Amino acid sequence: MRRVVGLLLVVLAACSVAFPAAAPAQNLVVQVATEPPGLDLTATPASATAAVVFYNVQEALVKVDRHGKIVPWLAERWHTADNKNYTFFLKRGVRFHNGRELKATDVKFVIDRAMNPETKHPYPGYYEAIGDIIVKDDYTITFTLKSTTANFLLNMARQGSVMYPREGVETLKSEPIGTGPYKVAEWVRGDRIVLVKNPEYHVKGLPKLDRVTYRFIPDPNAALAALKAGDIDAAMFGIGPEHVPDLQKDGRFQVIIGETTNDVIMSMNNSRKPYTDVRVRRAITHGINKPEVVKGAMFGLGRVLGTNVDPLNPYFVDMSGAMPHDAAKAKKLLAEAGYPNGFETVLKVAPQYYYTVRTGEVIADQLGKIGVKVKIEQIEWGQWLSRVWKDAEYDLTIIGHAEAWDIANYAKPTYYFRYDSAEFQKLFKESEVTVDDKARRELYVRMQKKLVEDAPVVWLYIHPRLAVTKKGLQGLWKDLPLPAFDLSEVAWAK
């Protein structure tokens, strides 16, 4: 018996030499503040959906990289000689998660579907200029535009332009299929979404993580407790700015502070009195002390804004001081508009995004000093999307607009701001067909000045990129030039 046991030990020892122990699994648990309303990027503009799906599960023909540059992606290159005909040459061997190879016919199907009014795509305007889509062969496709479109490539890189197979349309909301580095493995409503590594990803050596679990923790204090207890590895969006100084001193963690395109605004319903009067909108803007808002709501983290165009945009003009805090001027404008004693109004905020409540409390106090009595109403995120964003049933509301280059929203009279300016719409339309950089820049300056003049919303501040992770996590983007948490290159240091 001893000889048998001894022989077995020798065999086991030999096996341990021949077959070394497998490397530990690369798993990551991240906190996000809000559970997505769904996982279909072609049905919702919610940044909570993009945070999970965009770049991780689904990708587009081209990509905005961590430096804000448009680079080839599912298309290995593109060509245009006249800025009206764009030919994309697809990368070969790219496979959807169901195993089928991406072909040019898939690209045509996706964009045709986005252009179909019946699909109710959240941003149909991105594709209005497309006149024809021609499939030349399995890996070559040409888009013919009705007119030059300065943002065509950017629109093809946006979250609504992700690629998916036609056979996967019915499951986009809960189990989206894409070409990304991860697959959706599980969604436990109210608790977590789990992504697992795509072993056939088209970029060699990626992804580096085997499993990513998104945990929904809206409360900043709860997120901090989970981080310190080791229940999560990273807080991607939701740690309160007040916790930053202490976390920066804690050797267990690393804090990432960067820029985003997330402009936090207080919108005024331009179709509802008294906000139909530009004098009232200007009065509200003058009544708000933006630096104090940033100090009170964000503990000083965040850049004061003056228009919709964010600092990561090459056409950004600093207009933060164009309509400064001036309580006396605000009261004068209110009196001229027929409200010498002010008025009462309701501010709707979504507590899933902590900054909306904090910002609202500071603003309510400030506006009270010019006679505007603000009642704060907290509503669930689903209600905000349906009542405010969809139906414009509100007076005032606060939210961050994370989408890059989204000045187009102000050219849509039906958007929830209900801002309707023929002059602004004309400027925007001209900017969209102007490909000369200098001329386009001048148009963007004029648009920003027009927005300041009309004051359809109050641009408050840019919400900073604020992430906290355990020491040793590498590869996260510092800045977010668009609303995506790209985890493809993220890994634990060995």
Confidence bin at 333 (pLDDT 50/70/90): very high
For residue 62, give the 3-state DSSP assignment.
Answer: strand
Instruction: Please tell me the predicted confidence (pLDDT) of residue 24.
Output: 62
CA–CA separation, 492 and 470 (whole Å): 10
**Torsions phi, psi for 50 (to 5 deg):** -60, -35
CA–CA separation, 50 and 157 (whole Å): 13
**pLDDT of 19 over the 50 cut:** no
Confidence bin at 25 (pLDDT 50/70/90): confident
> pLDDT tens across 378-398, in order?
999 889 999 999 999 999 999
Superfamily of domain 182-259+467-492: Periplasmic binding protein-like II (3.40.190.10)
Instruction: Please tell me the predicted confidence (pLDDT) of residue 9.
Output: 42
Q: Which tops the pLDDT comparison, 316 or 12?
A: 316
Q: Which tops the pLDDT comparison, 162 or 239?
A: 162
Instruction: Determine the average pLDDT of the residues in 12-31.
Output: 63
Instruction: Determine the average pLDDT of the residues in 225-253.
Output: 94
Contact of 198 with 181, CB cutoff 8 Å: yes
The neighbour count for residue 88, using CB atoms within 10 Å, is 24
Contact of 269 with 392, CB cutoff 8 Å: yes
Q: What is the mean pLDDT of the chain?
A: 93
Q: What is the DSSP letter of 337?
A: T
The neighbour count for residue 82, using CB atoms within 10 Å, is 9
Q: Which tops the pLDDT comparison, 189 or 354?
A: 189
Instruction: Please tell me the predicted confidence (pLDDT) of residue 352.
Output: 85
Instruction: Determine the average pLDDT of the residues in 473-477.
Output: 96
> pLDDT tens across 398-438, in order?
999 988 899 999 999 999 999 999 999 999 999 999 999 99
Instruction: Please tell me the predicted confidence (pLDDT) of residue 403.
Output: 86
Instruction: Please tell me the predicted confidence (pLDDT) of residue 23.
Output: 53
**pLDDT of 21 over the 70 cut:** no
Give residue 419's identity as a one-letter amino acid code.
Answer: Y
Pick the CATH number of 63-165 from 3.90.76.10, 3.40.1390.10, 3.30.420.270, 3.40.50.720: 3.90.76.10
Domain ranges across the chain: 63-165, 182-259+467-492, 263-462
Confidence bin at 92 (pLDDT 50/70/90): very high
**pLDDT of 54 over the 90 cut:** yes
Name 395's Cβ contacts closer than 8 Å, sequence gap at least 6: 268, 269, 272, 275, 345, 346, 347, 348
Q: What is the DSSP letter of 371?
A: T
Superfamily of domain 263-462: Dipeptide-binding Protein; Domain 3 (3.10.105.10)
> Do 263-462 and 63-165 fall under one CATH topology?
no
Confidence bin at 93 (pLDDT 50/70/90): very high
CA–CA separation, 312 and 125 (whole Å): 22
Give residue 108's identity as a one-letter amino acid code.
Answer: K
